[in-house]
Structure formats: structure tokens, C-alpha cells
């Protein structure tokens, strides 16, 4: 369970609050590092937050983008996390391709693709944005899946229960070593899982990210 109390915001303010949290965390890291890394999740919740973030003033030329997870689909596929980040952040900010470290979902050899991504990752990720599914998964680390127990690899290729099943994901040690982690969760459908996770239920992958700041909309928080 996270040591920090969850932040609860009205649904209409969630995207802006998450963007401001990411911008502040990037600024903190930028004060100490020449370049900083921001690792992003997919799913439905974060897109509006990425759009808000793209409107905030930062020395973007010093920020490198990484991915928390990716489906093994081509980068222009509707299920591609890269595609969502491209549309909401990379294109609006006109980021250079050299700043965007994509997980290559179109690669046939998934194991090689995961090993290559591991080689691209910086030793420590500065800022990480996570989401949580209704089953408590985060990144593409699912409840009861052996990948959840991985201790040495930083990136894995996994077959998950959620379609599309073939995915690449950062592992728990990678998430736990990051400097600043936001767990962004919205919607009444996740209320019960949120409460279990905040109570520290170790069966829920999201609950194991003990360094995360949780940010909930009031529907997910049940208030
Ligand atoms: C993904 C994720 C995943 C996501 C959760 C929550 O690519 O699917 O990174 O872990 O954060 O499934 O997704 P929603 O925000 O869509 O509920």
C-alpha cells in the first residue's frame, strides 16, 4: 500500500490535475538531471491528461518518452498505446523521434523485442504514469500471472487475459525503482478494487506499486 494518502479530485478536473502532477514531477527531476524520462500507460483514462500535459510549458527538448506497456500490434493500430501517445503528446509538442522510445509492437519475435527495450531503458525512470484495470492489473501485470513475480528482468513479453493478449510490459522492479509514480484511476466501476488496493491486498498488482501516489476521481473513490 502506498505511504501517501490518495488525492481525490472531481471527474472534470482529473485530467488537468494529473497533467500538473506529471509536470511538477518532471520539473523536480529536470532540476537535477540534464535529460529526464517519462513512461506512459495506455488505456482510456490517461489520454485527456496527456493532452493537458501537452499544453503545459516545460523544456520538452530535455524529456524522453518511454512506455509502460504495449500491445503487439503495429504503431498505427487502434489498440496501440504508441498511437494514443503520438496523437495526444508527440504530435502536439512536435517531439523529435529521437525522444520517443517506442515498444515495437509490430515485431514478430516478442522475446527479442522485450530484451531490446530493456537495453533502451535508462537505469531509473524519473516519472511514471500508471492506470489500474477493474481486476487490479497495472501496466500489463495481471493478478496471478507469473510475470508479476519477476525479480530480475526489467521488461517482459507476456500473454495476458485481456485482449489483445500479447503484450510487452515493464516489470514490478522497474516500477518500484522509479522516482515518481502516479496511479491514475477513474470511474465508479473501479471503486471496489480501489478500496482493496488501498487496503494493500497483495493479490492486486496495483497494490504492489508501493511507491505510487494515487489520484482518483470522486467516482472511483466513492465520494
Ligand atoms: C494498458 C495499460 C493498463 C491500463 C489499465 C487501465 O495499456 O491497457 O497500461 O494497465 O492502465 O488497463 O485502463 P483504463 O484507463 O482504460 O481503465
Please give the ipTM for the structure prediction.
0.95
Q: Which residue has the cell 502516479?
A: 182
- Of the two residues 161 and 113, the one the predictor is more confident about is 113
pLDDT at 4: 76
Burial class (CB in 10 A: 0-12, 13-18, 19+), 66: buried
Q: pLDDT tens digit string along 16-64?
A: 999 999 999 999 999 999 999 999 999 999 999 999 999 999 999 999 9
Q: pLDDT tens digit string along 167-205?
A: 999 999 999 999 999 999 999 999 999 999 999 999 999
Q: Is residue 2 part of a domain?
A: no
Cell numbers representing residue 54 in the block: 501537452
Query: What is the average pLDDT score of the chain?
Result: 96
Which residues have CB under 6 Å of ligand 1?
Answer: 41-45, 68-69, 81, 131-133, 137-139
Position 92 pLDDT exceeds 60: yes
Strands (E), 12-110: 36-40, 63-67, 69-71
Q: Which residue has the cell 524529456?
A: 63
Q: Is residue 1 part of a domain?
A: no
Compute, in angstroms, the gap from residue 175 CA to the centroid of ligand 1: 15
Exposure pattern of 146-179 as b/e (b: 16+ CB <10 Å)?
ebbebeeebbbbbebeeeeebbbbbbbebbeebb
Residue 3 pLDDT grade (very low, low, confident, very high; cuts 50, 70, 90): low
Compute, in angstroms, the gap from residue 140 CA to the centroid of ligand 1: 8
Cell numbers representing residue 1 in the block: 500500500
pLDDT at 161: 87
Q: pLDDT tens digit string along 64-91?
A: 999 999 999 999 999 999 999 999 999 9
Q: Which residue has the cell 540534464?
A: 34
Position 2 pLDDT exceeds 70: no
Cell numbers representing residue 11 in the block: 471527474
CATH number of the domain bearing residue 117: 3.40.50.1360
pLDDT at 166: 95
What is the position in ligand 1's atom list of the atom closest to the CA of 70?
A: 7
User: Which of 18, 41, 70 maximizes ligand 1 atoms within 8 Å of its Cβ, making it the mutation to test the pocket?
Assistant: 41
Q: Is residue 97 part of a domain?
A: yes
What is the position in ligand 1's atom list of the atom closest to the CA of 44?
A: 16
Q: Is residue 47 part of a domain?
A: yes
Whether residue 197 contacts residue 206, with contact meaning beta carbons closer than 8 Å, is answered with yes
- In the chain, how many domains are there? 1
Q: Which domain holds residue 204?
A: 7-221
Burial class (CB in 10 A: 0-12, 13-18, 19+), 76: exposed
Q: Which residues have C-beta within 8 Å of that of residue 62, sequence separation ≥ 6?
A: 30, 34, 35, 36
Q: Is residue 24 part of a domain?
A: yes
Compute, in angstroms, the gap from residue 62 CA to the centroid of ligand 1: 27
User: Which of 11, 18, 39, 42 maximizes ligand 1 atoms within 8 Å of its Cβ, making it the mutation to test the pocket?
Assistant: 42
Amino acid at each position: 500500500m502506498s505511504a501517501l494518502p490518495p488525492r481525490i479530485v472531481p471527474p472534470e478536473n482529473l485530467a488537468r490535475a494529473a497533467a500538473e502532477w506529471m509536470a511538477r514531477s518532471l520539473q523536480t527531476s529536470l532540476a537535477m538531471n540534464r535529460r529526464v524520462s517519462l513512461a506512459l500507460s495506455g488505456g482510456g483514462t490517461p489520454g485527456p491528461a496527456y493532452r493537458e500535459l501537452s499544453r503545459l510549458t516545460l523544456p520538452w527538448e530535455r524529456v524522453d518518452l518511454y512506455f509502460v506497456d504495449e500491445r503487439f500490434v503495429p504503431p498505427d493500430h487502434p489498440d496501440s498505446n504508441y498511437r494514443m501517445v503520438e496523437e495526444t503528446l508527440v504530435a502536439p509538442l512536435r517531439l523529435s523521434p529521437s525522444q520517443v522510445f517506442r515498444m515495437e509492437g509490430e515485431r514478430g519475435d516478442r522475446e527479442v523485442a522485450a530484451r531490446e527495450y530493456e537495453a533502451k531503458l535508462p537505469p531509473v525512470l524519473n516519472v511514471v504514469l500508471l492506470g489500474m484495470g477493474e481486476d487490479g492489473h497495472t501496466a500489463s501485470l495481471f493478478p496471478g500471472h507469473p510475470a508479476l513475480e519477476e525479480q530480475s528482468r526489467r521488461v517482459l513479453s507476456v500473454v495476458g487475459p485481456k485482449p489483445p493478449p500479447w503484450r510487452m510490459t515493464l516489470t514490478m522492479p522497474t516500477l518500484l525503482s522509479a522516482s515518481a509514480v502516479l496511479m491514475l484511476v477513474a470511474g465508479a466501476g473501479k471503486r471496489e478494487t480501489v478500496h482493496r488496493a488501498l487496503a494493500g491486498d497483495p493479490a492486486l498488482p496495483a497494490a504492489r506499486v508501493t511507491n505510487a501516489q494515487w489520484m482518483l476521481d470522486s467516482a472511483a473513490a466513492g465520494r
